[in-house]
Structure 1
Amino acid sequence: MKYIVVLGDGMADYPRPELDNQTPLQYAKTPHMDSLAARGETGLVKTVPDGFAPGSDVANLSVMGYAPEKYYTGRSPLEAVSMGVELDDDDMAFRCNLVTLSDEPDYAIKQMLDYSAGEITSEEARELIETVQLKLGVGDKRFYPGISYRHLMVWRQGPEKAVLTPPHDISGRVVKDYLPDGAGADTLLEIMKQSYAVLKEHPVNRSRVDRGLNPANSVWLWGQGKRPQLPLFKDLYHLEGAVISAVDLIMGIGICAGLQVIKVPGATGNIHTNFKGKAEAALAALHDGADFVYVHIEAPDEAGHQGDTEIKVKAIEQIDSQVLGLLLGGLTDLPAYRVMLLPDHPTPLSLRTHTAEPVPYVLAGGGVASAEHSQIYSESSAAATGIILPDGPSLMRRFLGIGC
């Protein structure tokens, strides 16, 4: 049996007036998702445990079969693993976004105009982060470039209990009420303020402004944590496998789990990603001997954070046609396979951030019985089945047929 997970990050949503009061999943043309629902099991699963923030870190750990209550140590250390940054036991890793803030002289009254600095290119971002490292990376703090707006700061013996806010949670808001608080807050805020002075007139940003693009004029620190310790996926579930994603977070989870990380050319983490290439890479891995492949697509989540209904619908339709369509066509020559489709969490367009409600899943393929009321794939059709699983590990065991 071969197992493939297709995870559309943030696909779940609320009904939208511009979509005839349907959710993006209901409105989008998704014949392959609906086909899976019609011949498989549909239900809801709670991917975010009580007491945890509904981030992609917690939710993807859960979906991959790792209980966050036991294994979660923070978002940034997972990204550090993917970036090849070695963490000592007393290192604290922080996500370091490049963001666009408004230009008020007082940092506290600036607005969060863009948490991704216009989805800045990795090449431009590297130059900016290297400048930040040169100017601010002294002593016990170092900055490391990542992908697009997503970067890393490591603080030797840094504070674990700082209270920090993800920038995508405060789009359009004045930052005053969301500045660092708790342990180490003064130092963290000073780094953010100094980064604004360093980056505001940087040649990369002057060029971006000249081209009508948002400048990456500040770093924003959040998502701190210490080095993770995950048991290998093959030890938990007795399968060898691979992870396909464009973002360091998911690749880091895969590395920690002992899964092969497959990098796809043109995979970007947004609507311009190489959807087809991800499906082709997944099929190649399965035909080359992998038992399990986890395909993560970030595009719906990015659209949700941007509040862009049209792009979110388009991302869902691309997942259906370019990922699921190609996969289902290519899986038919395998002796036996199962497919699991789901989001990690909702990213409602109206809120532009994550929520913790249970998400709709589909299980289909060898040995999966069809559930009632599941002729289409959507939030409401999944709820109508009456199936609600308590956590991601329960879903993974159900998918793999362990204890069922």
Structure 2
Amino acid sequence: MKYIVVIGDGMVDQPLKELDGETPLQRAETPNMDFIAKNGSCGMLATVPQGMEPGSDVANLSIMGYDPKKYYTGRGPLEAASIGAQLKEDDVAFRCNLITQENGLLADFNAGHISTAEASQLIESLNQSFFRYGKFYLGTSYRHLFIYKGKDAALLKSTPPHDVVGEPIQEYLLKGDNSVLDALSVKLNELMYKSSDVLEKQPINEKRVESDKNPANMIWLWGQGPKPQLPPFKEKYNLKGATITGVDLIKGIGTYLGLTNVHVPGATGFYDTDYCGKAKYALESLEDHDLVFIHVEAPDEAGHAGDIQEKIMAIERIDRRILGKLREELHSLDDYALAVLPDHPTPIDIRTHTSDPVPYAVYTPGCEADKTEAYNEVSVLDSFKDSSNEIMEGYKFLKFFIEYARRGKTV
């Protein structure tokens, strides 16, 4: 049996007046998602446990079959594994965004989606100037890492920058709840402010300003934590798995779980990612893997940007270029199973994540279909309300999907 899980990051939304009360997923043309919903089974999934922040780290850890309440230690350490940063016992890894600040406001959480090539020069300048604080590691585009030696740093309160765009920076800096942590927060907040003095003067940023692009003129530290302890995926599920993504976070989770991180040229983690390439490499990976997670960041980026049309187009590309290709190539087999779902909502109106339950759809040849007419928030929820099912905890989804596929073989 071969298993494919397609994750449209932030794909689901709320009804929008610009779409006459529909969601982007309702408005998008998604014949392949609808096929899975009509001919398979659908339900609702709580990927973010109560009391936890609705980040892609928590939600994707859930989807991959691990309880965040038990295993999650922070976003930074997950990304550290992806880029080869080896964490020691007292190390704390921070996610380090390159941001744009203007007049004390957080103007852009991704510095105009600065390129990795440009960012590499900025990260080098930060290491040269601030080596006494810790070490910076190059990631992708605006997403980088800062490693601090001192386990107390994991206890600081930090804020995702995409949640406070347009807000005063001073109000959302790192915070502590005792004298030791207060002193540490002052030190690291000082680092963030000092980074502006160094980055503003870099030739890369001067060129960006001349070209009317947002400069990466400050760093933002958040999502910190120590190295997690995660049992290997192969031991937990007795399956050999792989990940396909353009995002370091997902690659990092894959590294800790012992999954194969398949490199897809052109997988960018943005609107221009190579959807067809992801499908192609997924199919090739199934030759020597049992399960592949295909993650697409584009809908989430559109949600953060408040761009309705980009979100619709991203959803349609996932449907046509990934799910369409998978169904076409797997059509002759009777021993495969497909799942499609988001990790969390990223509603256009609020431009950030929520912890609301998300709809999933699963399909395998020979399975019994439920009464869902299409794959979208309204149709799946209506079908779910008519059933006796309960909202599933996110980390239980993968086991359910595997068992569902195996039951389908016997129907």
Q: What's 2:401 paired with? A: 399
Q: Deviations over 1:138-183 (max 9, x none)?
A: 2x51111110000000001141211110000011222232111112
Q: What's 1:176 paired with? A: 170
TM-score by length of 1: 0.96
On the 8 A contact 1:100/1:114 being kept in 2, the answer is yes
Relative to structure 1, the CA distance from residue 360 to residue 249 in structure 2 (aligned partners, 3 Å threshold; closer, same or farther) is same
Partners of 1:166 and 1:65 in 2: how far apart? Answer: 24
Question: Which of 114, 122, 130 does residue 124 from structure 2 map onto?
Answer: 130
Partners of 1:3 and 1:354 in 2: how far apart? Answer: 27
Q: What's 2:114 paired with? A: 120
Partners of 1:43 and 1:171 in 2: how far apart? Answer: 33
Partners of 2:169 and 2:368 in 1: how far apart? Answer: 50
1:303 CA drift (Å): 0.7
Which residues in structure 2 correspond to 1:157-236 (within 5 Å)? 157-158=150-151, 159-182=153-176, 183=181, 184-236=184-236
Query: SS where residue 272 of structure 1 aligns?
Result: coil
Which residues in structure 2 correspond to 1:6-17 (within 5 Å)? 6-17=6-17
Query: SS where residue 98 of structure 1 aligns?
Result: strand
Q: Deviations over 1:76-97 (max 9, x none)?
A: 1010000001000110000000
1:42 CA drift (Å): 1.1
On the 8 A contact 1:46/1:388 being kept in 2, the answer is no
Partners of 2:248 and 2:283 in 1: how far apart? Answer: 22
Q: What's 2:142 paired with? A: 149
Which residues in structure 2 correspond to 1:2-401 (within 5 Å)? 2-102=2-102, 104=103, 110-138=104-132, 141-158=134-151, 159-182=153-176, 183=181, 184-286=184-286, 288-372=287-371, 374-386=372-384, 387-401=389-403
Query: SS where residue 160 of structure 1 aligns?
Result: helix
Query: SS where residue 85 of structure 1 aligns?
Result: coil
Query: SS where residue 180 of structure 1 aligns?
Result: coil
Partners of 1:389 and 1:368 in 2: how far apart? Answer: 21
In the alignment, residue 157 of structure 1 is paired with which amino acid?
A: G
Q: Deviations over 1:277-314 (max 9, x none)?
A: 0000000111x221100000000001111111111111
Partners of 2:390 and 2:109 in 1: how far apart? Answer: 34
Partners of 1:53 and 1:388 in 2: how far apart? Answer: 22
Partners of 2:117 and 2:58 in 1: how far apart? Answer: 29
Query: SS where residue 355 of structure 2 aligns?
Result: coil
Query: SS where residue 101 of structure 1 aligns?
Result: strand
Query: SS where residue 355 of structure 1 aligns?
Result: coil
Partners of 1:198 and 1:367 in 2: how far apart? Answer: 61
1:367 CA drift (Å): 4.9
On the 8 A contact 2:305/2:351 being kept in 1, the answer is yes
In the alignment, residue 336 of structure 2 is paired with which amino acid?
A: Y
- Mean alpha-carbon deviation: is it higher for 172-181 or for 294-303? 172-181
Query: SS where residue 26 of structure 2 aligns?
Result: helix
Number of matched pairs = 395
On the 8 A contact 1:389/1:395 being kept in 2, the answer is no
On the 8 A contact 2:334/2:365 being kept in 1, the answer is no
Identity of aligned residues (%): 48
1:221 CA drift (Å): 0.2
In the alignment, residue 396 of structure 1 is paired with which amino acid?
A: L
Query: SS where residue 399 of structure 2 aligns?
Result: helix
TM-score by length of 2: 0.94
In the alignment, residue 368 of structure 2 is paired with which amino acid?
A: A
1:17 CA drift (Å): 1.0
In the alignment, residue 175 of structure 1 is paired with which amino acid?
A: I
